[in-house]
Structure 1
Amino acid sequence: MSFLSRIMVVKSKAHFSAGGNNHPGDAGGRFEGTRKRSGTQARSRVAIMMGGFVLAYCIIGGRLIQYGIAQPESVSSIGRADNLMASRPDILDRNGEVLATDIRTVSLFAEPHKIVDADEAVEQLATVLPNLNVADIYNKLKSKSRFQWLRRQLTPKQQSDILALGIPGIGFRPEKRRFYPGGVTAAHIVGHVNVDNRGIAGMERWIDSQGLADLAAIGMTSDAKLEPVRLSIDLRVQNIVREVIDHGMKEFQAIAAGAVVMDVHTGEILAMASVPDYDPNNPASGGEEGWMNRMSNGTFEMGSTFKSFTTAMALDSGKVTLKDSFDARFPIRIGGFTIKDFHGKHRVLSVPEIFQYSSNIGTAKMADLVGIDAHKEFLTRLGLLTKLPTELPEVKTPSQPRVWKKINSITISFGHGVSTTPLQTAVAGAALINGGKLIEPTFLPRTREEADQSAVTVIKKSTSDDMRYLFRWNGTHGSGKNALVPGFNVGGKTGTADKVVNGRYSSELNFNAFLAGFPIDDPQYVVLAIIDAPKTGEKGIRTAAGNAAPLVRDIIARSAPMLGVEPKFGPDGSALLVSY
C-alpha cells in the first residue's frame, strides 16, 4: 500500500471515530478541549512576543549606556569639535581698529571605511581643488583609519561644489579661521595662528600663554565671543612706519630695515615694523627671512648710537662735564688694534664736539676715565646687556664679552663688541631723554601713572637734560641734519657699524641706525630706525646720515600730527605758520 493510501485510511478511521457512535456529549467535550488548547497557545505566543520586545529594548538601552560612558576615540589626533570651534579674542589697536578676528569656515574630512571608490573620489575632488596632492589624498582614502583631514579651511564656494559631487564618506566640520584685515601691516607684532587656531607667534602666542591654550587643552573654552585684547599700537602710525621702511629698503638697496616708535613716558610701543615681513593670513608666503622680526628678535652691533650711552655714563659719573675736552689728535693703539676717527679733526675736542663729530677717540677716552667695571654696570643698568622684558615672545638675548678687558670697554664705547636688539636700544635711549627713567616697553595700553610705578631711575635728571642738549646739538650741527622735520624739533644720534663677514669687519657693508627723540625740548616719543647693508643713500651717502636718518625724518613728518604733537615755528615756538 502506498504512503498516500495509508494516510487516506487513517483520516477515514478518524472521521468515523469522531461521530460514528452517535454520542453528542462526547463530541462536544472533545471540541471544547481543542478550543482551550488554542487559547493557551495564543497567550504563549503573545508572552513570547512581549518578552522579545523587552529584551530588544534592554539590549539597545544597554548599548546606549555603554556608548555614553565610553572614552572618546582618538582618531588621527583630531580634537573634539568643541575645541576646534573655540573662539579667540579679537585683537584691536589702541583706537579700536581690528587687527585680528575669527571668521567661520569649514574643513573637509573623509571616513575611509565608507569610501566606495577611492580613485573616483580623488578624481572628483581634484575638479574642485586643482592643487590637491592626489597621491597623498589617495593614500588617506585607502587607509584603515576612520577619520582623515583632506583640506582645512575651505571657501563657501568650494564647500558647495564638493557637496554637489555627492561623494559618500566625505564630510565637513565647522571651524574658526583667523583673519588679519591689515595683512602685512603689523605682522610681527600681532603674529599669527596655526591651522588649529592656536597662537604660534607675536601677541597671538602671548594671548595663549595667558591661559587660553591651557583652557583649550582641557576643553574649557567655548564658541562664545571673548572680550577683545586691545594693544598699544596705533594702526595709522604702524602703517606709516611699515610703508617708510619698506620703501627705504628698496630705495637704498638694503637687505632689511626696521623702525619703532615708543612713548618715552609710558613705554607703550605705538608702532614697530621689520622688513622683509609676511602676511599672517598666509604665513608660509614669508619664508624664513619674512618671519624674522629684526627689531626684537635680532641682535646687532649698534655702532655710534652707543656713544649716546657712553657719553651719558661719563656725565652721570660726575667725572665729565659738557665743558670738558679730550685730546683726539692721535689714534689709540691697544692690544694690536688701532682706534681712529672716521672723519678725524686731529685736535682737542669738547664733549659736544665729540658727540657732534662722532669721535671714536674722544668717546673711548671718556669710557677709560670711568673704568671697565663701571662701564659694564652702567650698560646693565640701562638694560642693554640682559634680555628685554616685554609681552612679545620673540625677544633675543644680547651678547657681550665673557670677560671684559680694556680693549672690550674701548670698542664697546663706540658700539662694537656688544650686540643688542634695536628695540632695547630704543628703550635705553628713551631713558636718556625722559628725565632718567628706565621703563619696560609694553605692547598693551599703559597710563603714565602706571608706568611711573614700575619705572627705575637709572641716570640723574641733570644728565638727562645734558643728553637732550647733545641730541639737539647733533641734530642741528652734526650727522642728524637729515632727520630734521620743520616744526617738530628732532634730535638724535647716528650709528654706522661695519658688518662682520666671516669673522672680520667689512668696510663695504654697514649696519646703520638712527636714534631720535621729538620734540627734543620736551620729549614725547623716541624713534629708532635701522637699515641693514644699504648700497646707497640720499646724495649717495651710504652711512646712517644718508639712509637711517631720512627714514626717521619721514616717519616723524607723517606720524607726528596723528600722535597729537603740535608743530612749533619761530624763535620762541609761538608762530603758527612759517614761510619757506
Structure 2
Amino acid sequence: MTFLSRIMLLKSQAHFSTDVQRGGAVVSGATFKGAGKRKTEMAKTRVGLMIAGFCVVYAIIGGRLVQYGHAQPETVSSILPADRLMASRPDILDRNGEVLATDIRTVSLFAEPHKIVDPDEAVERLSTVLKDLDVKDTYRKLSSNSRFQWLRRQLTPKQQSQILALGIPGIGFRPEKRRFYPGGPTASHIVGFVNIDNRGMAGMERYIDSQGMAELRALGMTSDTPLEPVRLSIDIRVQNLVRDTLVRSVEKYGAIGAGAVVLDVHTGEVLAMASVPDFDPNKPTEGAQEGWLNRMSNGTFEMGSTFKAFTTAMALDSGKVRMSDSFDARYPIRIGGFTIKDFHGKNRILSVPEIFQYSSNIGTARMAEAVGISEHQAFLTRLGLLNKIETELPEVATPTQPRVWKQINSVTISFGHGVSTTPLQTAVAVAALVNGGRLIPPTFLPRSKEQADALAQVVIKEKTSDEMRFLFDWNGTKGSGRRARVDGFDVGGKTGTAEKVVNGRYSDDKNFNAFIAAFPISNPQYAVLTFIDEPKSGDDNGGPTAGYTAAPMMKEIIQRSAAILGVEPTFGEDGSALLVSY
C-alpha cells in the first residue's frame, strides 16, 4: 500500500474515532465531554452564588430601611433632616394685613464630639460667648461617643459670628427658622406660640397645624416655601387698646386678672380679645405660671347678674311674662334652707324694667319660676351657655352645671350663681339678644354676612330682641350701666357682681365682676364684655363691684375703639350736635 493510500485510510477512520491524542496521552471523547460539563456547572454555580449574595445584601439594606421607617425619629438620629429644620409656617395677619406672626432665619449650634480635640477647652471658649451655658451638661455632650449633639438652638447673628471667630474644631451651625411675633404679648392668647421646632403649641398657631400644616411638614412639603398667609378677624389696633385697658385696670383695682372681648354681632367675628396676665409668645416659658391661662375662653366663672339678661329674655320670649308685668320683690325668698334677697332691695313690687334696672334677685327668680325648670335649662342650652363653644381656638373650657336641676338651682342660676361658663360664650349669647335673636358661632377668621347668616340659629323672637335692647338702654341710662355710657355711642348693658366660691363657700370679699354691653344700642353693631377678677377697690371711692370696675373698663374700651371700628357718633335728641369733648 502506498504512503498516500495509507494517509487516506487513516483520515477515513478518524471520522469514526472519538479518541484524541494529546502529548502522547490518549483521551476518550466521553472524558472530554465530562470536563466541559463540569466547567459549565462550575460557571453556573458561581453565577448563582453571586446572585444569592446580591439578594442577601439588598435584603439586608431593605430590612434596615424598613426598620428606620418604623423607628421613632429620636432613635434614628438626634438631628432632623435639613428640609425639616427649614420648614416654613405661614405668616399670620390681622384683618388689615398687619403681621402678627412670621418666620425669620436663624442658626443653631451643634457639635460632633468625635471631632472635638479638647472638650475642656471647647467648653471654656463657648462660655465666653454663651454666658448662661450649662458647663457640666455641655462637657458631658462633648465628651460623649455620639457623632452629633445640639448645644444651643436659635442663636443671634452676633453669637454666631463670635463663635465662628473662636475656631473650635467639631463645632458647626445648622440653618433653622424661628417664629417672631412683632406685637409681643398684644394678642398672645389668640395667636398662640410655637415650640423650639416651630410646631404650633397654642392659639391659632396650633389651629393652623391641625388644619393640615403638621402633615405637610411631616412630608417635607413646607421646606423653605412661601405659604399663603393666614388672615385673622382681629383688628390689632383695637386689640392693643383692649389689652392696654386691662393691664392698667388690674393695677388700678388691685385685681388678679381681667379680660375683654369685642364681637361683631352680625358676623360673629372677634375683633379683639385679651386676658391678663398674659405672656410674650417670643418667650412663652416666662409666662408659664399664670400667663398661659386664657381666661376668656379657657376659664369658667359664675357670671353673676349678667345672667339676669338671659333670664329676662327667656321670660319675655316664653310669652308667660310681658314688659308691663310686675313681680313682688318685698320679701326674701326662702328655699332649700337658703334665703334669696336683694343687694340693694327696693322692698316693693317691681316692673320688669325695674327688676332689670335695680338688678333684683327676687324679681328675677320670680320670672324664672313663672317659666319653669325644664324650660329654663333648655333656654340656656339653646343660647349655647351650657355646652362647650365651637371656635378655632383649641383652648376652650366646658361649662359646668348641676347634674340635676332642682327648684333651688333654677332660682340661683336665674341671677348667675350655680352655673359656670366662659366669658367668650357669654358675649356670644349677648350678641344674640341684641342682633334680632340669631346665635352666631364666634370666629377668629374673617367671615362675611352671608356666611354668618348660613350658620345663624334663631334662639329668640325678634320682638324679644327689641325688648332686650330697650332694657339694655334703660339700664345704661338709669341703672348700673351709667358708668359705661359713652357720649354719642348709646352704650347699653348690664353689670354682674358675683361672689367667688372659696373652699366650697361664697366669699364676702372676693368678687368676679363683669359687664355686658352692645353699642350703639339703637342699632347694635358690636357686643363687648369686660370682667375683672378679685378687685380690691373701685372708681369714685366706690366698692369693688361691677358698676365701679367693669363698667368704667367698658367705657374706656368703647370710647377708644368706636372710631376705629367705624361707628359714627350721634349727639343730642335729633343728632344735630356733632361735637363732644372728652
Q: TM range, normalised to the smaller chain?
A: 0.7 to 0.9
Q: How do 1:32-47 and structure 2 match up within 5 A?
A: none
C-alpha separation in 1, matches of 2:92 and 2:576: 41
Partner residue, 1:522? 523
Task: Please report how far the alpha carbon of residue 287 of structure 1 lies from its aligned counterpart in structure 2 after TM superposition.
Answer: 2.2
Determine whether 1:465 maps to 2:469. Answer: no
**AA of the residue aligned to 1:315:** L
C-alpha separation in 1, matches of 2:295 and 2:504: 21
C-alpha separation in 1, matches of 2:149 and 2:493: 59
Partner residue, 2:480? 479
**AA of the residue aligned to 1:544:** A
Partner residue, 1:547? 549
Partner residue, 1:123? 124
C-alpha separation in 2, matches of 1:327 and 1:386: 33
Partner residue, 1:331? 332
Structure 2: gaps spanning 5 or more residues: 1-56
* Counterpart contact for 2:262–2:271, Cα < 8 Å: yes
Residues 77-125 of structure 1: per-residue CA shift (max 9 Å, x gap): 4321101101100000000000000000000011111111111111110
Partner residue, 2:7? none
* Counterpart contact for 2:78–2:148, Cα < 8 Å: no
C-alpha separation in 2, matches of 1:233 and 1:140: 45
C-alpha separation in 2, matches of 1:265 and 1:92: 22
Partner residue, 1:110? 111
Residues 421-454 of structure 1: per-residue CA shift (max 9 Å, x gap): 0000000000000000000000000011110011
C-alpha separation in 1, matches of 2:556 and 2:139: 55
Decide which moves more: 534-543 or 457-466: 534-543
**AA of the residue aligned to 1:136:** D
Determine whether 1:395 maps to 2:396. Answer: yes
**AA of the residue aligned to 1:553:** K
C-alpha separation in 1, matches of 2:305 and 2:78: 53
C-alpha separation in 2, matches of 1:513 and 1:573: 31
Percent identity reads 74
Task: Please report how far the alpha carbon of residue 579 of structure 1 lies from its aligned counterpart in structure 2 after TM superposition.
Answer: 7.4
**AA of the residue aligned to 2:573:** P
Residues 534, 231 of structure 1: alpha-carbon distance in 2 compared, 3 angstrom cutoff:
same
Residues 365-400 of structure 1: per-residue CA shift (max 9 Å, x gap): 100110000000000000000000000110000000
* Counterpart contact for 2:88–2:224, Cα < 8 Å: yes
Task: Please report how far the alpha carbon of residue 337 of structure 1 lies from its aligned counterpart in structure 2 after TM superposition.
Answer: 0.3
Task: Please report how far the alpha carbon of residue 145 of structure 1 lies from its aligned counterpart in structure 2 after TM superposition.
Answer: 1.7
Residues 489-529 of structure 1: per-residue CA shift (max 9 Å, x gap): 00000000001111110011100000000000000000100
3-state SS of 1:288 partner: coil
C-alpha separation in 2, matches of 1:433 and 1:469: 10
Q: What is the number of equivalent residue pairs in this alignment?
A: 518
Q: How do 1:81-100 and structure 2 match up within 5 A?
A: 81-100=82-101
Decide which moves more: 484-493 or 283-292: 283-292
**AA of the residue aligned to 2:174:** R
* Counterpart contact for 1:75–1:145, Cα < 8 Å: no
3-state SS of 1:297 partner: coil
Task: Please report how far the alpha carbon of residue 219 of structure 1 lies from its aligned counterpart in structure 2 after TM superposition.
Answer: 2.4
Determine whether 1:568 maps to 2:570. Answer: yes
Q: TM-score, normalised by structure 1?
A: 0.87
C-alpha separation in 2, matches of 1:493 and 1:381: 21
C-alpha separation in 2, matches of 1:81 and 1:502: 54
Residues 276-301 of structure 1: per-residue CA shift (max 9 Å, x gap): 01100000111220111000000000
C-alpha separation in 1, matches of 2:531 and 2:393: 19
3-state SS of 2:556 partner: helix
Partner residue, 1:5? none
Residues 236-265 of structure 1: per-residue CA shift (max 9 Å, x gap): 000010000110110011000010000000
Partner residue, 1:499? 500
Partner residue, 1:301? 302
* Counterpart contact for 1:391–1:443, Cα < 8 Å: yes
* Counterpart contact for 2:78–2:149, Cα < 8 Å: no
Q: How do 1:193-208 and structure 2 match up within 5 A?
A: 193-208=194-209
Task: Please report how far the alpha carbon of residue 323 of structure 1 lies from its aligned counterpart in structure 2 after TM superposition.
Answer: 0.3
Partner residue, 1:53? none
Q: TM-score, normalised by structure 2?
A: 0.87
* Counterpart contact for 1:75–1:147, Cα < 8 Å: no
| Aligned alpha-carbon RMSD (Å) | 1.8
Partner residue, 2:12? none
Task: Please report how far the alpha carbon of residue 169 of structure 1 lies from its aligned counterpart in structure 2 after TM superposition.
Answer: 1.1
* Counterpart contact for 1:76–1:148, Cα < 8 Å: no
C-alpha separation in 2, matches of 1:76 and 1:222: 19
Structure 1: gaps spanning 5 or more residues: 1-61
C-alpha separation in 2, matches of 1:432 and 1:250: 33
C-alpha separation in 2, matches of 1:410 and 1:211: 46
Partner residue, 2:358? 357
